[in-house]
Amino acid sequence: YEKYFNMKKTLSIVISALLLAFVSCTKGPIKANLMCYNVHNCVGLDDSLSCERIARIINNADVEAVAIQELDSMTTRYPGHDMLSELASLTNMYATYAPTIDYRGGKYGIGMLTRKKPLSHRQVPLPCRSEPRALLIVELEDYYYCCTHLSLHEEDRVKSISIIVNELSQLDKPAIIAGDFNALPNSMPMQFLARQFQVFPKSGASFTFPANKPTREIDYIALYSGGGATANVLYHEVLSAPVESDHAPIVARVEITK
């Protein structure tokens, strides 16, 4: 009887695993509506500080997650302002902050806004000879969305991408990274990135900096493909925002197949 019971229990476990696998396979592609934006502390090219202008762009884009770079929090440079918290309030999104340096009595770093509360998040330090940088990994229900702002020095950027590949290769869901890479498309860091990532091609003009008259593409969104995931890029555009920041925002709508 005990042998029969153990066999029945084993069979039940196998059937349950097969059913879960079937449900996973038939669930369909993961849909993600994403934005990446270096907001320059919400200070525009007209030198006006306005979180409201940045929030308006985010709200109009109707995205579920925004990777954001250059965020002061309670510094003497912008007294009384926690940029990410203000943007979260204005967009009705959850804020996840990753400060990289102590700066003028407060913090400075990168962050993420998400429509749904993240399941988890963590911060990974990245090399930079001028100031500390970081990778922010935010776990959502179906995928990870990651934010970074790489060094101005190419050697640091190459080392950073190696760290990023290693970190994302250990995740148990598809992982998308977005940020200001401070690197042109044909540069060594981006060529290195393209070996392990599907860098989303932009439709139309691809330049993102400076925002008023873009001449360089340095902001990107990409899917880590080392785990076998692929993305069908339905839309990936540089939005027109010529005054609100020194960078133009980018938006991508993709379907990810595991």
243: its two tokens: 């005054």
pLDDT at site 12: 62
User: Phi, psi (5° rounding) for residue 59?
Assistant: -65, -40
Residue 24 has pLDDT above 60, yes or no: no
187: its two tokens: 């540069």
pLDDT at site 258: 86
d(CA 203, CA 82): 34
CA angle 46, 70, 164 (to 5 degrees): 145
**What average pLDDT does the segment 169-177 reach?**
97
Q: Is 103 in a helix, a strand, or coil?
A: strand
User: Residue 39 burial (CB < 10 Å; 0-12/13-18/19+)?
Assistant: buried
Which amino acid would we find at residue 108? Answer: Y
Percent of the chain beyond pLDDT 90?
Answer: 83
How does the average pLDDT of the chain come out, rounded? 92
Residue 78 has pLDDT above 80, yes or no: yes
Range among 22-26, 129-133, 214-218 rated most confident = 214-218
Which amino acid would we find at residue 229? Answer: A
Residue 64 has pLDDT above 80, yes or no: yes
pLDDT at site 229: 95
pLDDT at site 23: 47
d(CA 258, CA 235): 19
User: Phi, psi (5° rounding) for residue 74?
Assistant: 55, 45
Taking residue 88's Cβ as centre, other Cβ atoms within 10 Å add up to 22
d(CA 169, CA 54): 33
Taking residue 50's Cβ as centre, other Cβ atoms within 10 Å add up to 14
pLDDT tens digit sequence for 215-258: 999 999 999 998 899 999 999 999 999 999 999 999 999 999 98
Residue 9 has pLDDT above 90, yes or no: no
pTM: 0.89
